[in-house]
Every structure is written in C-alpha cells, then in structure tokens.
Structure 1
Amino acid sequence: MFSLADLFVKVIANRWQGSLVVLGGKGLTAECCEKALVLLNEEEVDFRPGDRVVVRTRSEIEAVAFILAAWNLGLVIVPVKGDISPSAVERLASDCNAKAIWQDGNLTDLQSYRSERTKFKISTPTRVTGVDLALIVYTSGSTGKPKGIMLTHQNILTSLDSICQYLSLTDSDRVLCLSPLSFDYGLYQVLFALYMDCTTILYDKPFNPIQALKVISSHRVSVLPIVPAMGAALVKLISLVKPDLSELRSITNTGGHLSEYVVRSWKESCPNLKIYSMYGLTECKRALYLEPELWEEKIGSVGRPIPGLDARIFLQDGDAMTYREAEVAEIGELYVRGAAIMQSYYDVTAQGGAKIVPGIYRDDNWLATGDLFTRDVDGFLYFKGRLKDLIKQAGFCLFPKELENHIDSCSLVHLNVIVGSQDRFENEIAVCVVELHENTEGYQKQFRTWLKDNLDSDYTPREIKFVEIMQLTANSKVDRKRIEEELQA
C-alpha cells in the first residue's frame, strides 16, 4: 500500500473485507464513498492537490467516506470536533489556510482562504504518493496559538503497520472506538478496519460507561482502546452491569498512565486480558509499548520502541549542540527517530513541547519529545514528566507524572493530577487534585495517611484538593489546563 488513497480504491472496488459500523447498524459501503467523491467533484470549490479541508465531525460514517474520498483526490484533512466553537474553527482554518469545511454531509467554501501560488501546475489527474500530506492534526487551538501537526500518507501507514504488528491485530478482531474521529486515537481505530479488514464499531453517542459495557458485550468486542478516565469508569461498573467479556482479549491505552489499581481490577474481571501500557504523542503517533506479559515485572514502564522506530534518552552536551545518551537511571529527554514522525508544525513558529532536530540528510531527523524519561538495565523506559511541567518545591525537583503514577497505586484513588501552584508567599508548590472512589472524611483521612507513609516528605505535594468528579476534556482526558486555571483564580 503506497498511500491512504489506496484505502478508498479498496472499498469502491469491493476488495475490502472488513466492517465499519455505528451502533445503529449503518456501515461504510462503496456507495457511501462514491457519493462523497461525487460531492467533491461537483462542488463549486476548485480543489487542487494539497488543499486543506476542515472536517467537523462526530463519529459518523459519512465523515469517514468523505475523508477517504478527499485523500483519493490528494486533499489534506484537518479533523476537528463536531461541537467546537465557530470561532475556534475559524482560527484553525485560518492557521492552515483551509479552502473548505465539511459538516453534516455539506461542503462549504471558506471566505478566509487566501489564494496560494503553486510551483508546479498540474493539468492531468492526481497521483497520490506516500510523501503527500494527508493530515493536519491540531493539539491545541481552543486557547493559545494553534499547533498543526503535519503528517504524510507514509507517516500514517508506517504507524498503522507497526501498531497492527505489536497488537497482533487480525481480520477477526472487533475494535470498539470510544474516541471521536477528531482525536487521532479515534481516527486510527477506523483505519485499522480499512487496513486490516477487521471490524471497528463507532460509538456514536456521548460516552456512558454502563452503555459502553453493554456494547462491549453485545458486539463481542475483542480490542478496547481507552484513555485512563474511561478505563477507570468502565471497570468500576463491571460488577454492576455484569457484561459478557469472554471475547475481550486486549486493552490499549493512551492519554496518560493507567493506574496499577485499574489494571489489576480489569485483570480480576478478565484473567487472560492483555493490557498494553503505551506512550506516544501526535507528533509521532505511537513510540513505545510494553508487552502485556511483562507488566508485573516492569510495573510503571511504558516499554521499548515499537517496530520500525528508534527511541533513546539524550542530554544536550554543553554548548556544542551535541547529544549524549543517558546512562541507566539518569533522567533525560526522550528522542524518537523513524518514518512515523511528523514533517513539522504547519506554522513553524507555533512550537509545542516537541521539536525536530535535523541530521545530515533530508529524513535524518530526531524528534525531541519534550518528555523526561529514564531507562533500566534491560532498556525499558519510564516516563518521569514533561520538561515544562517540572515543579521546584522548596528546592526539590518534583516530576508530576512520576508522582501521579505512584499515587495511582493507592487503592483509594480513582483519578489524580499533580499541578504547579504558589503558596501565600509566592513560592512554587505542588498541588494534588484527587478524586477518591468515595469522597468521605474517612477516605480523605486514610489518603493523607497513605501519602505520609508512602512519599518522602520533601516530595509530597504541599496541598491536597479533593474533588467529587475530576474535570475531563472532550477526549476524556484529565483537563489539566482548566484545573491549573481554577487554582490560579
């Protein structure tokens, strides 16, 4: 397979043996894809290869058909949430100079589009290749400067092939997609069905853990991709719902650490379940994974590089702009190298935590992730936190992610997040915001005692804030930014 345009051809040529369906039963067909292509060809917008199209979507078959048809014409997809505000859509569309927007089956040209000069003027039919741009995924944009991550067809195909290998996906698998298509994690679950001829079920409703457990049972789901908040909410209700989990063979996780308590709870319900601890970022999709059978031995690790990628911990060596590899247990920044890493941010001035460090030829690049890691003697990697999230409390360096992972091991904790704040003397401190399984005075007292017994006093957050329900983003991740803003108010 040379490009994602081949997936469109695979469907309309009736060579696709997989299935993509929503809960109501409607599925992706050749007819859906052909209809989307007609819309693109008949629209008054004069599309040229490389033009960007914003796709404002929920989890819907029509959106998938449109994306495939657009890739077939060499267009670039910019997926955004269906409920994102109009002003946020305008900001993202302007940032990448999108020509049109798709929503609810309708295609509308954008008045903000600025005419672009092309070096090569094409008059014959498009031939889409692996180096063509396929996606611009925004990791922020509702506030602050948007960061559009540019991914080619080959970047995406490399990630697909690698993930399918280490998850051992087959055409008999049934994947439940709980994440929206605007989230790259959700979009890849759709691509699995097209790439591997397996089945993906689109959960086209607001996330409800009771309903989701029933869907896992009724649709005989074998692979369940989750984020930590979803995993915790689902396993908490298994004893109540009593779903049939006999077909469930594996769980994958992104967007944060899946606590030891949650993992053990899932394993109690499904003793043979394989749970994949993984690490990645949109700039390179997936980078590391831990083989499920090593979870007990390597608790806290996110494993080693996925097939086809290299990942190492480096420290900058003085002012010479050279890098040395970290020693065992030495904290440094994770760098990733391989054909899956992004081309760049669309606006090169909108740098995020990650950046590309070029080598001596075009594709000789390392992606500096902005994330801190250590490795053990066996080469397994452990996430310590983000460079920008480091909290210096009374002269001690506290790594939020390391603390969160440790606190997650407390059986009283449902979700927790460590954020930086200031005390009344304007000194930097760490605050632990925690949702307990039961937010009672007794549980709160037990939790404070657990912290005292299990954390060194110098590395214990100065403040504990108990909440009834942890604030989550639309992708069911802990809304760290909103929590930080409320603490600062």
Structure 2
Amino acid sequence: MRIESFLTDATRRYAGKTALVSQGERLDYATLNRYSDRLAAHWQSKGLKRGDRVVLLLDNSWQAAVALFACFKAGAIAVPITPLTKGERLATILGDCTPTILVTQARLAGLVETVGPVPLGTLVVDKPSAKLPAADLLESVVQQDASPLPNTGIDSDLAMLLYTSGSSGEPKAVMISHGNADAASASVLAYLDARDDDVILNTLPMSHGYGLYQLIMSVRSGATLVLERSFAFPQSIFATIAAEGVTALPLVPSTVATILAQDNLAPGAFPTLRYITSAAANLPVPHIERLKALMPDIRIYVMYGQTECKRATYLPPERLLDKIGSVGIAIPNTEVFLVDPDGQRLPLGAEGELVVRGPHVMQGYWQAPDKTAKALRSGDHPWDKLLFTGDIFRTDSDGFLYFIGRKDEIIKSRGEKVAPAAVEAVLLAFPGISEALVFGVPDEVHGEAILAMVVCAQELDEREIVKYCASRLEDYMIPKTILFRNDLPRTPSGKASRRLAAAMLE
C-alpha cells in the first residue's frame, strides 16, 4: 500500500473524528484529507511531477502533516528536515536532493534566504514573510477547491528521503519506499496492539523517523495524534496528557530522564496511558527500573531500530524485568541475526554485528552507491537484501538481543576493546547522574583515553564517581576524566553524540 491510502481509508471510516490536535487547533480526518488534496493539486498545477523532491523544513504542526500527505498524493518524495538545521548543513542537503518545492514557516525565512532559492519557489505554512515575498501561503491554498490528478504511483516508488548523520556527521539520505513504510508501520502497529481509540502524544520531531512514523501509524490506525514541538516543559506535557486522555507516549532516553527527574510524580499519575515506547538510543537499566516503578500498570516497550529500517527489534513488555537491558526480539515479519567479521552467522550466546532482513529495509542511500553497497548486501538467496547495521550485539540463550555499541565507536584502550555503553550503564547507576556519554580521545600512552560527560541532578564529586566505577569496572574501562555538563551534545535528531563530544575537546 502507498502511504496516502492510509489517509483516504481512514477518512472513509472516521471522517468526522479528530485526526490531529496541534497549536490549539483540531483537524478531523475529512479536513486533513481535503487540505492535503488541495495542496497536492496546487503543486501539480505549478509543475510538480512524480518523483520530484519536496523539502519540509517545519516544526511539528498540523500544517506539516498536511504537507506530508500532499507530497504523497502528488507522487512526490518528501524530504523532512529539522528546523534546528544550520545554514551550511541545509545548503548541503538542498544541493544533494535538488528539491522542486520548499515548505517552511515564517520564522525560518532568514535561514532559507541564506541558502538561495529553490527552482519553483516556496510555501510558507503560517504567515507571510517579507524575506520570501514570492512564497505561497498554505492558508490560501487549502481554501481553493481542487483535486489532485490521478496518482499512478505504486508502492515501490520512493516516499521519503530521511537524512541521517550517523556517527560520521556527514548527512546521507535514506531512501524509503511506500512499500517500506507500509511494512514497517504494519509490523509496529501489530506488536503495539494499536487501536483506533488511541490518543498518541508526539513530542518527537517529525523530521526524523521515530516522530514521523507516529503520524503515519496514527492515521493508519484511525487514532488521534496530539502534536507538541518538544518535551522542554514537562509539566505542560503532563497537563496535556490529562486534558487529552493520552493513551500512548513515544519517548527517547533523554525524555525518560526528564520524567524521572520530576519530584511531583507518583505511581498512578497517568491513569489514561496504556503504553509508552522508547527508541532512538539505548535505554539504561536504572531508567527502566525507575520507570517501571513509577508506571507499574503501563506497558513499556523498549525498542531498537535505525533510520535504514525504521524498527528491527522490540522487547515484549511482559519480559521487561526478566530480560532487563535487552532490546528484545525481531519485530513481526522480520529476521535478525548476528554475524562475525567475515559475515558468517553466529550461534546463540555469541557477539557480533546485527543484520536485518525484511520488507521494511531501505532501498539504499540517495546518490551514494558506495555507501549503499557497504550497508546492503546479498543474502543466502538471489532476492535477499540484508542490512548490515554496524551495531554490535550479543544474544542470550533464548535469542534475546543486547546492545553493546557501534562498531566504529568501540574504544581501544590499553590494548583492550571497551564498549562505551557498558561504562555508561555503570555511571547511570551512580545516584544523581541522569545522563552519561562515554567516548575515547587520542592518548599517546594508552592509544585512547576514556572520558565521560555526565548530566547531574545535583552537585557530585568526580573522585567519588571514579571510585564507584573502579569498584564495578575493569581497570582499563575506568574513565580518566569526568566532565560535568548541563546537557549532552546532540545531533540534529536529538541523539547524544560521542563524535560531537570528542570534537568539543579538540
């Protein structure tokens, strides 16, 4: 199925039901469908063709949802980009994907102006901007009665280019087809046991896969999606959960840490919540234990995935505590296994690189055949396409997976290999540390020295932290220095970045 069919199907079933809650406004399915129809028709009248790229430089909003579905209806390829992007990176992305249309908001007009015009122009979603005088205004476009031309696309067409930096920092675009998104969303909705009466609160940026799929899956299941732009004001988020009767809350480890830092929460604080999910980075064991104690009756899904496949594994909530620290098993309709450096499959209990096989695996990297060939390789059969993730895991005797670290982030110190996640787990067990990031820097004696950045809820003593680590880690794993920070350096997608942390010290 193509992604826009999720909206047309939902409109037939739930026309008058609220699809989106955003910025104090509510859009039902019929309105979301009508607005996206009219915007798609408008773009087609301006020359947008099947396969053209449309850049969406937008905050979370109902306008972003309208623009996304308009892309699909027009047969275009959506390219969502975070509004936090700096000018140089934006210029690189625009030069790489060569968009026909750029959709943005007035406050970002200055940023857009610095990188030059796009071929056919721009669309501003909120209000006119003197810096973009030729731009169309979404409010005017969606009031014009029009229908898009018949869509002749199929599900093997590209739907999205999702830019990711990975550990290298260099932006590369993951090519996701409609078929990929269909398979991924169906699988995730199945294990979440999603329902049409769910109310999902999304604070994750829709410029990245985890947040973007909240919209796709909500529409597919006929649920209601409440959009917020961040988790910066947790008490406001908690009030929204209560006011909207939120049943589902997707999180990342940093937002979990924010929730756990609130001193006014007690078990039962969120009576409407059915489940929460955590992905995008490894959720530390101490966070899992405290979160489960705070939310004993709420299903907690710990998950693992990459932009290249959306999702690969999940831990069934009933196994959360007896398999604590695991990211679980393969999602439905997916095969995962570990391989050695020669690409040979490994038995249970071994440690190796995770390989993912399934219909949700990306089509490759946009205009990057060498990078594609490294990540996507042939399998046991001619039709196989395997994703080599670059992530190291181990399995237990039951086949449950445990994340160890990125291949290219393993620290080599004193002749030993150190997985940063193992050191971070110990740091996070120290009372008062809410976030930790471990990385290596060049060292003339040891090859690499181990450093740690930590975020603390209170003033702590570096010597006590090092002493604590020494009582729980091998000598070669003990951080040489503890760096105290108010926040960790993060990529545009919000992930804590070892590369950026090391660069700060250069």
Aligned partner letter, 1:176: L
Alignment-derived partner of residue 403 in structure 2? 383
Q: Describe the shift of the 1:258–1:68 C-alpha distance in structure 2 as closer, same or farther (beyond 3 A).
A: same
The more displaced of 246-255 and 87-96 is 87-96
Matched residue SS, 1:446:
helix
- Of 471, 474, 489, 1:456 maps to 474
Aligned: 1:470 with 2:488:
yes
Matched residue SS, 2:239:
helix
Aligned partners of 2:102 and 2:118 also within 8 Å: yes
Aligned: 1:111 with 2:103:
no
Residue 434 of structure 1 deviates from its aligned partner by 1.6
Please show how residues 314-393 of structure 1 align to structure 2 within 5 Å: 314-317=339-342, 323-349=343-369, 351=371, 355-359=375-379, 363-393=383-413
Residue 209 of structure 1 deviates from its aligned partner by 1.9
Aligned: 1:437 with 2:445:
no
Alignment-derived partner of residue 301 in structure 1? 326
CA distance in 2, matches of 1:485, 1:401: 19
Please show how residues 178-257 of structure 1 align to structure 2 within 5 Å: 178-204=203-229, 207-239=232-264, 244-257=269-282
Aligned partners of 2:348 and 2:398 also within 8 Å: no
Aligned partners of 1:300 and 1:405 also within 8 Å: no
CA distance in 2, matches of 1:364, 1:24: 47
Matched residue SS, 2:402:
strand
Aligned partners of 1:95 and 1:146 also within 8 Å: no
Alignment-derived partner of residue 20 in structure 2? 20
Alignment-derived partner of residue 420 in structure 1? 440
Aligned partner letter, 2:406: R
Aligned partners of 1:54 and 1:80 also within 8 Å: yes
CA distance in 2, matches of 1:260, 1:182: 28
Aligned partners of 1:170 and 1:198 also within 8 Å: yes
Residue 206 of structure 1 deviates from its aligned partner by 6.3
Please show how residues 162-177 of structure 1 align to structure 2 within 5 Å: 162-177=187-202
Matched residue SS, 1:454:
coil
CA distance in 2, matches of 1:243, 1:473: 34
Name stretches of at least 5 consecutive residues in structure 1 with no aligned partner.
114-123, 318-322
CA distance in 2, matches of 1:31, 1:247: 27
Aligned: 1:138 with 2:163:
yes
Alignment-derived partner of residue 51 in structure 1? 52
CA distance in 1, matches of 2:120, 2:499: 29
Provide Cα deviations, 1:273-314, integer angstroms capped at 9, x if missing partner.
221111100000100111122122112111110001000001
The more displaced of 361-370 and 249-258 is 361-370
CA distance in 2, matches of 1:52, 1:255: 26
CA distance in 2, matches of 1:198, 1:334: 33
Aligned partners of 1:147 and 1:352 also within 8 Å: no
Matched residue SS, 1:26:
strand
CA distance in 2, matches of 1:101, 1:141: 24
Alignment-derived partner of residue 120 in structure 1? none
The more displaced of 360-369 and 289-298 is 360-369
Q: Describe the shift of the 1:211–1:477 C-alpha distance in structure 2 as closer, same or farther (beyond 3 A).
A: farther
Provide Cα deviations, 1:117-138, integer angstroms capped at 9, x if missing partner.
xxxxxxx943222111101000
CA distance in 1, matches of 2:482, 2:214: 37
Residue 461 of structure 1 deviates from its aligned partner by 2.4
Q: Describe the shift of the 1:241–1:304 C-alpha distance in structure 2 as closer, same or farther (beyond 3 A).
A: closer
The more displaced of 141-150 and 218-227 is 141-150
Name stretches of at least 5 consecutive residues in structure 2 with no aligned partner.
122-148
Q: Describe the shift of the 1:393–1:51 C-alpha distance in structure 2 as closer, same or farther (beyond 3 A).
A: same
Aligned partner letter, 1:278: M
Q: Describe the shift of the 1:435–1:204 C-alpha distance in structure 2 as closer, same or farther (beyond 3 A).
A: closer
Alignment-derived partner of residue 116 in structure 1? none
Matched residue SS, 1:239:
coil
Matched residue SS, 2:344:
strand
Residue 348 of structure 1 deviates from its aligned partner by 1.8
Aligned partner letter, 1:75: A
Matched residue SS, 2:283:
coil
Provide Cα deviations, 1:303-350, integer angstroms capped at 9, x if missing partner.
110001000001144xxxxx3222333221100000000000002257
Matched residue SS, 1:433:
strand
Matched residue SS, 2:27:
coil
Aligned partners of 2:280 and 2:495 also within 8 Å: yes
Provide Cα deviations, 1:41-86, integer angstroms capped at 9, x if missing partner.
3346312111111111111111211211220121110000124234
Matched residue SS, 1:325:
coil
Alignment-derived partner of residue 124 in structure 2? none
Provide Cα deviations, 1:379-430, integer angstroms capped at 9, x if missing partner.
0111111111111100010011232234323333211011110236573122
Matched residue SS, 1:429:
strand
Aligned partners of 2:179 and 2:360 also within 8 Å: yes
How many positions carry a matched residue from both structures?
Answer: 470
Alignment-derived partner of residue 88 in structure 1? 89
Matched residue SS, 1:262:
helix
CA distance in 2, matches of 1:22, 1:7: 20
CA distance in 1, matches of 2:251, 2:150: 40
Q: What's the TM-score once normalised by structure 2's chain length?
A: 0.85
